[in-house]
C-alpha cells in the first residue's frame, strides 16, 4: 500500500492545471477543496493553505511550479519526515 498525495485545490485555472500535471505523471492523489467543506471550525481554528498545493510523502509543494517539480521527482525514493504524519 502506498500513500497518496493530497491536492488542495479550488476552482482556479492553476488548480485545474495541477490536476492535469499529476494525472499525466500517473501520480495517485486525493483532491481536497477546503471551501467545499461545510464543517464547523475544529480544535485547530480551521485550516488554510495556498491552492493549489500538494501534501505528499516527499514533502509539501505549493503553487504550480513546485507541483511540476514534485511530478518530475515522483520516481525519487527519498521520503521526507512528512511521510510519518
Q: State the pLDDT at residue 84.
A: 54
Q: DSSP class of residue 51?
A: S
The model's pTM: 0.72
* Strands in the chain per DSSP E: 5-8, 29-32, 53-56, 59-62
d(CA 3, CA 5): 7
Question: Does the structural domain 5-76 have CATH classification 1.20.1260.10?
Answer: no
**Is residue 85 pLDDT above 70, yes or no?**
no
Give the pLDDT confidence of 39-78 residue by residue, as tens digits. Answer: 555 544 556 678 899 999 889 999 999 999 999 986 655 5
Residue 34: closest CA among 48, 44, 24, 23: 48
Amino acid at each position: 500500500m502506498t500513500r497518496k498525495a493530497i491536492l488542495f485545490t479550488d476552482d482556479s485555472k492553476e488548480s485545474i492545471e495541477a490536476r492535469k500535471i499529476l494525472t499525466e505523471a500517473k501520480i495517485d492523489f486525493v483532491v481536497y477543496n477546503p471551501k467545499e467543506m461545510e464543517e464547523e471550525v475544529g480544535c485547530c481554528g480551521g485550516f488554510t493553505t495556498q491552492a493549489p498545493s500538494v501534501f505528499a510523502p516527499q514533502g509539501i509543494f505549493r503553487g504550480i511550479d513546485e507541483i511540476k517539480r514534485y511530478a518530475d521527482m515522483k520516481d525519487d525514493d527519498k521520503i521526507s519526515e512528512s511521510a510519518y504524519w
